[in-house]
Chain A
Amino acid sequence: MTQSGTEEPLADSRNVPALLSALRDRARSCTVLVTGTPGGSIHVRDGLVVAMETPGAPGIEGLLLRSGRISEEAWSAVRASDTTHEHLAAELVARGLVGAGELEVISLGALFDAAFALSLAVPDSWEVADPVPALHRNAGVTPERLLDEVSRRINLLAGEPGSVAALARTRVRSVSAAGLPGTAAGLPARHQEVLAHADGRGTARDIAFALGRGLFAVMMDLRHLLDRGLVQPHLPSAENRPSTAARGAPSAPLAGASAAPRSVPLPRREPGRNSAPELRPHD
């Protein structure tokens, strides 16, 4: 293979979509490294996008491991069997760890989710580098289809421009009434899980990583919960000083005079047994 980043200049790469489109026309195989907040890597094979990795959305490996689909031990064995890391997907399927169709669903889901996450930030710069192995199992997606799907997602989430990126940055917490029996009843299990992770500290991205679900899927769920008034944006206001010390647990809904004495800054600890970390409920 003689393809390299320096072989032919891609003059018409004003932005990343234009670059991908130019790579598509030339049927190139390469990696596009995007720097930004977040940045990411876009893996292109014969002009089609097959995988993307970004800190902004859970990747295939995280989705497989976090969801418990495959064990750490099995994953290590797969990686050990293919030191080039070029046939990881085939190996996963061959070992019967995940179905071929299932892996394709996860691979495509992660790809479109990463594209959506990258679309929420303005990249600082990008460069075309040699192709590197990337875990994927799909036939490749055209840049046009990626763009169409990203616009569909942005339209689904909100009307006014910029509001989707704002939603992605919002730290949400469940309103205290959501914890009362009856209020959250009737919610599907996945909404209840999102609600349980809305502790005012994490964004949609953080919840997505914690649950091993897609960023866009979690944002759709959060939009629904916001509309129903079950979660609200967590605004760190300077007036509400004591809440900095309060650890997560939703306290009184109104910052009334009675709120301060009721909020307990630290979880109860007894002398003598203060070294054991609290068990996380889902571990």
Chain B
Amino acid sequence: MSSLDTALDRVLTAPGISGAMLLDAVTGLTYAESGEVSGGRDSCEIAEIARTRLNRAGASGELESVVVTTSTRHLVTLQLARRGDPLLLCATVDRERTNLTWALRELHRHADELLA
């Protein structure tokens, strides 16, 4: 029934991506989630800090992504620009099953389909 749930389930078909979550970058509201997304809420805060601090530090341009890497996984947060407040696509990426470059490319590809 939910187009967002269906789209997020498709994200999980990519090897190595074990969880995905779509959040509002400003309100933190969870629009949809699928798989293992324990770090999703924190990703929203991390992205907000990155966005405001970098801006204050004089960085120009909009935030595109934040990657937090632990010994076993990457927590990837993509900021999706749209008309209105941006969204965050947070994904849990298994380091043993895929590499970051490939996972980012997959996530960007799915992000475009998400709001279509």
Contact = CB atoms under 8 A, between A and B. Distances in A.
| B is a partner of A | yes
Interface of B: 1-5, 7, 22, 24, 26-29, 31, 51-52, 55-56, 58, 82-85, 87, 113-116
Interface stretch (A16-24, A158-166, A213-221, A246-254): A213-221
Contacts of B52: 188
Contacts of B115: 99, 101-102, 105
Nearest to A214: B27
B27 A109 contact: yes
Contacts of B84: 63, 67, 106, 212-213
Contacts of A267: none
A149 interface: yes
B7 A109 contact: no
A220 B4 CA distance: 25
Interface in A191-230: 212-214, 216-217, 220-221
Contacts of B85: 190, 213-214, 217
17 contacts: A68-B83, A101-B3, A101-B7, A101-B113, A104-B3, A104-B31, A105-B24, A105-B31, A108-B29, A109-B31, A112-B27, A112-B29, A138-B2, A153-B27, A156-B28, A186-B56, A212-B84
A167 interface: no
Given A99-B115, A156-B28, A217-B27, A104 B2 contact: yes
Nearest to A152: B28
Contacts of B1: 139
Interface residues of A, number: 33
A216 B29 CA distance: 10
Interface in A83-111: 99-102, 104-106, 108-109
Interface of A: 63, 67-69, 99-102, 104-106, 108-109, 112-113, 137-139, 149, 152-153, 156, 186-188, 190, 212-214, 216-217, 220-221
A113 to B, nearest CB: 8
A67 B2 CA distance: 24
A146 B59 CA distance: 37
Given A68-B83, A99-B115, A188-B55, A105 B26 contact: no
A247 to B, nearest CB: 30
A263 B89 CA distance: 49
B54 to A, nearest CB: 10
Nearest to B8: A101
Given A63-B84, A68-B83, 6 more contacts: A101-B7, A105-B24, A108-B29, A113-B27, A138-B2, A186-B56
B36 to A, nearest CB: 20
Given A188-B51, A188-B52, A212-B84, A104 B4 contact: yes
A187 B58 CA distance: 10
